[in-house]
Amino acid sequence: MSRRPATGHSSQGIPEATIARLPVYLRVLYACAEQGIATVSSEELAAAAGVNSAKLRKDLSHLGSYGTRGVGYDVDYLVYQVSRELGLTQDWPVVIVGAGNLGRALANYGGFASRGFRIAAVLDADPAVVGTEIAGHLVEGADQIEPVVARHRVSIGVIATPAGAAQAVCDRLVAAGVTEHPQLRSCGTYRACGRRRA
């Protein structure tokens, strides 16, 4: 869920179908970088992402990225380009609603910060949990969703509640101004509730 307006194209005119594939490419590129791979061919990247190489080359050309024939793509530079298009080079304040095992694990996960996601607040409905500290955050009550979203200018809401409470939490996040955005829909960092703000 994101505050940014949902559109069919990005500001650079990139088709939504391409935007939806970028997070997949980014995950593959992160894996390459972690293995110390400096360059990757379009065929290798396409195979790992589950698309054909012509489609991958066309998708990446929308970013202005063209591989070098016989060499491939520079992994670090491509990570930067894809991250920039997905908005991951920005600071995205995140609220986690639900401080159970999943919420705690997400709050303690260090990988978010390196990808532009900053945990701004953790909320929970359990009075026994409210007031405790998780990953340096004082857990606030779930009844504070609206003021927390406004105070921290929350861009993304992560719903880590039991299934029975998830829709109500989603409705409140949407009402507070946090809405789904196509660039973040497939990145795997949250479960969107499928609603958009008009």
Query: 150-179, pLDDT tens digit by residue?
Result: 999 998 999 999 999 999 999 999 999 987
Q: Give the angle subtended at the CA of 157 by the CAs of 141 and 9, to the nearest 5°.
A: 160
The closest alpha carbon to 132, from 153, 107, 149, belongs to 107
Q: State the average pLDDT over residues 87-103.
A: 88
| pTM attached to this predicted model | 0.58
- Angle at which helix 75-85 crosses helix 16-34, to 10 degrees, equals 140
Q: How confident is the model at residue 91 (pLDDT cuts 50, 70, 90)?
A: confident
Cα–Cα dist 198/196, whole Å: 6
Give the β-pairing of 137-138 and 156-159: unpaired
User: Does residue 23 surpass a pLDDT of 70?
Assistant: yes
Query: What is residue 180's predicted lDDT score, i.e. its pLDDT?
Result: 53
Mean pLDDT taken over the chain = 83
User: Does residue 186 surpass a pLDDT of 70?
Assistant: no
Q: Is 157 exposed, middle or buried (0-12, 13-18, 19+ CB in 10 A)?
A: buried
Query: 123-139, pLDDT tens digit by residue?
Result: 999 999 999 999 999 99
Cα–Cα dist 68/74, whole Å: 9
Query: What is residue 12's predicted lDDT score, i.e. its pLDDT?
Result: 59
User: Does residue 9 surpass a pLDDT of 50?
Assistant: no
In the numeric block, which tokens belong to residue 132? 């405790």
DSSP 8-class letter at 5: P
Alpha-carbon distances, residue 1 vs 20, 22, 132, 143, 197 (angstroms): 15, 17, 26, 19, 10
